[in-house]
Structure 1
Amino acid sequence: MSPVVSTISKDYELKIINTEVIVPALPMQQRILSLSNLGLTIPPVSVHVFFYYKNHLTRTFASTLSHLKTSISKVLVSYYVSAGRMVTDSIGLPKVHCNNKGVRLTQAYAAAALSQLNLYNPDESVQGKLVPSLSKPFQEDGIPFFAAQVTEFGCGGIVVGCTLDHRVADAYSANMFLTSWAKLCRNDSTVPLNPSITRSILCPRDSPAYCAEINNMLIHDAIQSAANEEHFQSLIDFVEIAKPTPVLAKIYCREDDIQSYVLLSSGLRFSLYEVDFGWGKPTFGNYHFP
């Protein structure tokens, strides 16, 4: 379905009703996890994903919100890493502290209709309004890895906007988290996939080595070589030896001497229509890099 463009989309008013922290339904054992070598190449970058749902709710908005809170508390039992906080070790490396601090959930209201939003320009209609920020601590509990905002519109539609810390969740794992949350919310009996936090599969080899060309690949060479295990193992070894600066920083800084970028993402395989929380499948959804 094609989105409808409106000239007033950037001017609609949004009211924040409430923000709270949701913790795992069961207390999980606290632990410290190291980032993998691939994770160390990623700077503190937030990734947004949002879903639009039409007005065909089978329950009141208050009941919908209650189901979302209960189900996200349950899914955090398996995805307890998402309920943690980032800390720094003695040599300055980031670590994940799995401390059950929880995730942030915001309730909002907009009198506008979904049809008034300019979906062709999420910087205008979504950023700063329909997706929450991870940049500020809430109630002095530190900055979470995940935050969600549920916005009710005057037309009866709903937007669920989520923000994730990319150091902890790539597109594939974000997909697992969101679809598992949706299944629990709609009481789907299918057992959700449990995440793997095993770091051994991303460890450098005993004698780390990488091809010198890995630092200067042409686009077609990069795409072709990225499809095999040796390429990723070389990347892991490259980080172990070279200790490069986070790579995404160069993409977002847009250095003057570089005119264009190619960003490969597993988000292409994102199961959009599996994110059904129980009131119907999303009409539209997308990732958004601010």
Structure 2
Amino acid sequence: MGSCGRSYSLSVKQRDTIAAALPVQDHWLSMSNLDLLLPPLDVGVFFCYKKSPIPHEDSITTPVNLIKKSLAQALAPFYPFAGEVVQNSHGEPELLCNNRGVDFIHAQADVELKNIDLYHPDDSVERKLVTELNCGGLVIGCTFDHRIGDAYSINMFLTAWTEISRSRPISCLPSFRRSMVNPRRPPLMDTVYDSLFVPVSSLPPPRSYLPTNPLVSRIYYIQAKDIDQLQSNSSFNGNPKRSKLLSFIAFLWKIIAECDDGFETCKMGVVVDGRERLEQVNFDKLSLTNTKCFSMQNYFGNVLSIPYGEANSGELKEMALSQVAEMVYKFVSPAMTEEHFRGLIDWVELHRPEPAVAKIYTKTEETDGEAVVVSSGQRFPVESVDFGWGRPDFGSYHFPWGGQTGYVMPMPSVKKNGDWIVYMHLLEKHLDLVETKGRKVFKPLSPSYIGF
């Protein structure tokens, strides 16, 4: 592991498997059609604490023991995380809820938190460790199988886990009611989804032209004033006021288009959460005494779509930010409807058991330009991840997924001052552009910014 250019030793103190505290009868839980669009990927998160409580020598309630105990309790209502993803008779992934448990690794690192280089998380962050530091600090890293749940579901689990640790009731119990995202009968075919998703069997075999340069991760911060300025610029000259996230996406798209790599086009994808879009239709159709118990806000699983736009790189460079923001709005807005998600669920149903994948994650032609996907971590519950000794001093996603499509996740700073933390997993040539063309906006994360 690396720390500000220096290496340090990390030793594993204990390896455990943590099962749900309550018995779980073995059973199968089907994947929804929207889950089936996800390949086997792990999503990582990590949290840094300057100080955790130092127990008396005779105390068994150490921070690590408290984390383990509350994890076992949290896995009871969130039992899919303690199971396994296996193939069913149709060759599709399915959840075997058998309480196999989750791996828990307790480690000790010979370093202080202020010397860990979080700007380069690939080198400094181990994603599946609870690591105690010399300074009395603690780093908690977790990974989750994306096929089981999206970021919203992970956030729900993290909040519940820490509520249990603080002996508080769970504020949002998960619902695994797959009927909330069932296809219509009969499903309706709409070829518009052929432009957004593609059956895996129709993809060409890997070719030598595919780039071999690995993507790397960096973490930046953006000050609130710069976010406001981007929003102002994207709404310039009488244009409709755009959201801060949409303005950020437009700015990043222009930067990526600056790459002089021989490709004429550049793609930008945006992750859209469909929960709010599907909420009302479920309330209308479910004849239940208390529909709130089955709200989409409690739904655990994947409810995502990834619309994208493709534009000529040269034209993107010359466009005003407001023009690029208008382009982003035009390809994202059709996906922000209930009908879009109902249609997508039907599209998957009509292609089963053939697996499919978001088209922006694929490269089907030699002339295909570079692609980046932006998700939104604005609901990242860094404020809430308090196990009993205070909120984290820093937290971030860490998603080095291994493909060739870039991934960017902006999330709020724990400072609560309007700043953003931005996790980026991009080709190095794109990160170079971020730090040159975008240097006034993107600032490398430093210990001084965090307050270490």
Counterpart of 1:77?
Answer: 76
* Cα distance per residue 1:78-120 (max 9 Å; x no partner): 1111111112111211110111111111100101111112212
C-alpha distance in 2, partners of 1:18/1:255?
Answer: 48
> Is 2:375 the partner of 1:265?
yes
> Is 2:343 the partner of 1:234?
yes
Max Rg structure:
2
C-alpha distance in 2, partners of 1:89/1:56?
Answer: 44
Using a 3 Å threshold, how does the CA distance of structure 1 residues 214 and 250 change in structure 2: closer, same or farther? closer
Matches within 5 A, 1:58-69: 59=55, 63-69=62-68
Cα pair 2:164 2:170 within 8 Å, conserved: no
Q: Which amino acid aligns with 1:275?
A: V
State TM-score, norm by structure 1: 0.83
Counterpart of 2:38?
Answer: 42
Secondary structure in 2 matching 1:97: strand
What residue ranges of structure 1 are gaps of 5+ in the alignment?
Answer: 133-148
* Cα distance per residue 1:97-153 (max 9 Å; x no partner): 111111111100101111112212211211xxx212xxxxxxxxxxxxxxxx21001
> Is 2:321 the partner of 1:211?
no
Cα pair 1:6 1:115 within 8 Å, conserved: no
Q: Offset at 1:19?
A: 0.9
Q: Offset at 1:254?
A: 10
C-alpha distance in 2, partners of 1:289/1:26?
Answer: 31
C-alpha distance in 2, partners of 1:246/1:153?
Answer: 43
For residue 176 of structure 2, the aligned residue among 190, 197, 200 is 197
More contact order relative to length (CA 8 Å, sep ≥ 6):
1
Q: Offset at 1:58?
A: 5.2
Q: Offset at 1:268?
A: 2.9
What residue ranges of structure 2 are gaps of 5+ in the alignment?
Answer: 197-307, 310-327, 401-452
Using a 3 Å threshold, how does the CA distance of structure 1 residues 261 and 254 change in structure 2: closer, same or farther? farther
Cα pair 2:80 2:97 within 8 Å, conserved: yes
C-alpha distance in 1, partners of 2:188/2:69?
Answer: 47
Counterpart of 2:120?
Answer: 121
Counterpart of 1:162?
Answer: 142
Moved over 6 A (4+): 252-255
Counterpart of 1:7?
Answer: 5
Counterpart of 2:25?
Answer: 29
- The alignment of Structure 1 onto Structure 2 pairs a total of residues equal to 264
Q: Which amino acid aligns with 2:127?
A: V
Root-mean-square deviation over aligned CA pairs: 2.4
Q: Offset at 1:55?
A: 2.0
Using a 3 Å threshold, how does the CA distance of structure 1 residues 246 and 107 change in structure 2: closer, same or farther? farther
Cα pair 1:6 1:117 within 8 Å, conserved: yes
Counterpart of 1:89?
Answer: 88
Secondary structure in 1 matching 2:371: coil
> Is 2:390 the partner of 1:280?
yes
Secondary structure in 1 matching 2:390: coil
Using a 3 Å threshold, how does the CA distance of structure 1 residues 212 and 246 change in structure 2: closer, same or farther? closer
Cα pair 2:52 2:138 within 8 Å, conserved: no
Cα pair 2:49 2:393 within 8 Å, conserved: yes
- Bigger Cα displacement from structure 2, 58-67 vs 190-199: 58-67
Cα pair 1:46 1:163 within 8 Å, conserved: yes
Q: Which amino acid aligns with 1:120?
A: Y
Cα pair 1:204 1:236 within 8 Å, conserved: yes
Counterpart of 2:235?
Answer: none
C-alpha distance in 2, partners of 1:251/1:171?
Answer: 18
C-alpha distance in 2, partners of 1:15/1:169?
Answer: 31
Q: Which amino acid aligns with 1:193?
A: C
Using a 3 Å threshold, how does the CA distance of structure 1 residues 57 and 254 change in structure 2: closer, same or farther? farther
Secondary structure in 1 matching 2:72: helix
C-alpha distance in 1, partners of 2:66/2:176?
Answer: 27
Q: Which amino acid aligns with 2:395?
A: G
Matches within 5 A, 1:150-189: 150-187=130-167, 189=168
Cα pair 1:210 1:235 within 8 Å, conserved: no
Cα pair 2:163 2:387 within 8 Å, conserved: yes
Cα pair 2:14 2:106 within 8 Å, conserved: yes
